[in-house]
A and B are shown apart, each in its own frame.
Chain A
Amino acid sequence: MAVVTLGNGKTGTSHAATDRAARVGACLVRARNGQTAALGEIVRELNPLLWHVARGEGLGAEESADVVQTIWLELVRRLDEIRSPQALTSWLVTAVRREAWRVQGLSRRQAPDGAEQLESVPDPDPGPGERLLTDERDQILWRHVQLLPERCRKLLRIVAHVPRPDYAAVAEALGMPVGSIGPTRGRCLARLREMLRADPGWSP
């Protein structure tokens, strides 16, 4: 797909963003009125993101699933705190990270104390499953991703799963810079792009 200019990209994005915000906003209103079942659609949409946030913090599969569920339960109790559809995703991401740190702290008997934790938790190894990557571009991409610093792998793992309209809010919650006209590429993605560009086998 050809690179489009920023102007075109922005038009499409804000349209999609408005649609999504309206849809998510309607679900939140119904949930606040006691119809928690209205959250089902949002759960399905955001669960992969939240799962990878927990996994990225080094939790095991069962622990991650549990942390994700705990945070949804917590959300149901705090729906009044969610001011906007965009705020929902960043609230969930932040809450899952905190809960993952808490669970990590329990299992390590030491409490994490903030963003430094990003550097100190080992990236969970997805295992010997790379044979599962049959597409050559997937293999090339994964090879380069593994060469990135751990902090970047963890960040991109999250960013890759963020719904586009929520990108800026989540980036801000993660301490990533956001430009005046919207989310920027950031150092980690810029680095990955450079690596991919230098690989003759790569095409996006």
Chain B
Amino acid sequence: MTSSADQPLDDDDLAVLRRLAEVYALLDPPPADLDERVWFAITLGELDAEVARLSEELTVGSGARGSERTRTITFDGDSRAVMITIAERADGLVRIDGWLAPAAALRVELRLPEPAQPRIVTADTAGRFALDGVPHGIAQLLVHPAADDASPRVVTPAFTL
């Protein structure tokens, strides 16, 4: 048996690769909710939306109690950036404070997995908005264009609250 590099793959190669995949699955598995997050995001079914990509995520505070922790996530789209701070509430729900840049009084929608209804708020003229009493889980933000604006909606990737 030869192991030279230009030989076709044989069954032993495939066995090694299969085992290597299993080792990686044990040592560095994808997040348990990755499939669900992708599924949630793509079933929005909005083919022409502008995707705002995650550009920064910071977690402040490290207490075991959730109320001491806040996360700040920035999403960058071509036309607009969305920054949100997620704070844990004592009752197990979360509060989201957000800013749109450039600032605009646009409708901001928090999409939640069915059967939950989406939460819709309108940002103020400084681009600030707040969504309070939101349950933990998967969510996605959509920023709607102004009524007289034909631009596509800006959507963030799904994230876990």
Binds A, one of B20-28, B61-69, B83-91: B20-28
The DSSP consensus for interface residues of chain A is helix
Residue A108 at the chain B interface, CB threshold 8 Å: no
Least CB distance, B82 to chain A, in whole angstroms: 14
Q: Are B15 and A184 in contact (CB under 8 A)?
A: no
Residue B19 at the chain A interface, CB threshold 8 Å: yes
Q: Are B1 and A185 in contact (CB under 8 A)?
A: no
Q: Are B55 and A106 in contact (CB under 8 A)?
A: yes
* Complex interface residues of chain A between 147 and 202 (CB less than 8 A to chain B): 156-157, 159-161, 164, 167, 177, 179, 181-187, 189-190, 192-194, 196-197
Q: Are B51 and A193 in contact (CB under 8 A)?
A: no
Q: Are A69 and B24 in contact (CB under 8 A)?
A: no
Tell me the bound Cα distance from A164 to B30 in angstroms.
20
Least CB distance, B151 to chain A, in whole angstroms: 15
Asked, given contacts A51-B30, A65-B31, A193-B3, whether A161 binds B21 with beta carbons under 8 Å apart, the answer is yes
Q: Contacts of A156 on B, CB cut-off 8 Å?
A: 17, 20
Number of interface residues of B (CB under 8 A): 49
Q: Contacts of B34 on A, CB cut-off 8 Å?
A: 47, 51, 65, 68-69
Residue B146 at the chain A interface, CB threshold 8 Å: no
User: Most chain-B Cβ atoms within 10 A of its Cβ — which of A63, A77, A177?
Assistant: A77
Of A1, A63, A69, A130, the residue contacting B27 (CB under 8 A) is: A130
Which partner residue on chain B sits nearest A132 by CB separation?
B26
User: Most chain-B Cβ atoms within 10 A of its Cβ — which of A130, A142, A177?
Assistant: A142
Of A9, A76, A130, the residue contacting B42 (CB under 8 A) is: A76
The 3 lowest CB-CB distance pairs between A and B, nearest first, are: A126-B27, A51-B30, A193-B3
A-B contact sample (10 more), CB < 8 A, given A190-B4, A193-B16: A47-B35, A47-B38, A69-B41, A73-B51, A74-B51, A156-B17, A185-B6, A185-B8, A185-B9, A190-B5
Q: Which residues of A contact B (CB under 8 A)?
A: 1-4, 6, 9, 34, 36-37, 39-40, 43-44, 47-48, 51-52, 55, 61-66, 68-70, 72-74, 76-77, 106, 124, 126-127, 129-130, 132-133, 137-138, 141-142, 145, 156-157, 159-161, 164, 167, 177, 179, 181-187, 189-190, 192-194, 196-197, 204
